[in-house]
Amino acid sequence: MGINLWRLAVGCGTALLAGLVSPTSAADNGVPLGGGAGITLNGNPCTLNTIGNDRSGDLVGFTTDLCGGPGAEVTAQGAEERGALGTVTAANAYFHYAVIKFDRAKVIPVGNYDGFAINGIGPDPAPGQSACKQGSATGKDCKSIRPFLDSRPDRPTARMQASWQPSDYGGPVTADELLVGMIYNGFFVASADAFSGPEIRVIYINAILADANARGGPGAGFTPIPA
């Protein structure tokens, strides 16, 4: 009886020890990614707009199609040695977006990346409303949203007087910590009688998500990871 009890104790202890020293799950060793994170698509440095789940249960993110189209492999800036973390599975040039399907075993999705929080999807901002952008190259700027002549009823766009570099493309724009847009382009404006300086172009996220939902493929039914 004593020997059996001893064997039972040893067996339980071994099981407990195995639980304590069992290999950490791949997700725990994953690369943290969220809106504003620097990513690279087939060698093109860009910025992740947002990350979350679509209606199929896939872990997906959005960026601009200027960074890469379907089939482009996605790595994290500063963690290229980890290899591809995902692949672009859909894109739309009219709405300027690309959908990335991430490998859950390699990525830790976060709603607050480097202090830039995204707590859901917001309504399209009104002209003059304050908004904040985050780019992997130039960081955070908060300015007012202004109408843009390229805006169309089905594809509303805006502009912001904010710093930018090409690798900021795809970056998120928020209002009250709710995602409202994506950086898809930028210019340096020079005018003698108006604002002179860097300016970004923004497409509203609701137009992007509406198109993804209408197509019913990757990214449809998207919900961002909350901060």
Q: Token pair for residue 70?
A: 């379907």
Mean pLDDT within 94-108? 97
Smallest CA-to-CA distance from 99 within 89, 84, 109 is with: 89
Span 33-58, pLDDT tens digits: 999 999 999 999 999 999 999 999 99
176: helix, strand or coil: coil
Q: Extract the tokens encoding 49.
A: 């707009």
Asked if residue 14 has pLDDT above 80, the reply is no
How many Å apart are CA 221 and CA 170, to the nearest integer?
Answer: 20
> Which tokens go with 69?
């189209």
Convert the pLDDT of each residue in 91-100 to its tens digit: 999 999 999 9
What percent of the chain stands above pLDDT 90? 74
Would 28-113 and 117-210 be classified into the same CATH topology? yes
| Rounded CA separation 209/1 (Å) | 67
pLDDT value, residue 194: 57
Is CATH 2.40.10.10 the classification given to domain 28-113?
Answer: yes
Cα distance between residue 202 and residue 179, in whole Å: 12
What is the rounded radius of gyration, in angstroms, for the C-alpha atoms of the chain?
Answer: 21
Domain residue limits, the chain: 28-113, 117-210
pLDDT at 193: 54
Structure tokens at 188: 């340096």
CA 217 from chain centre, in angstroms, equals 18
For the whole model, what pTM was predicted?
A: 0.85
Nearest-angstrom CA–CA distance, 85 and 79? 10
Report the CATH architecture of 117-210.
Beta Barrel (2.40)
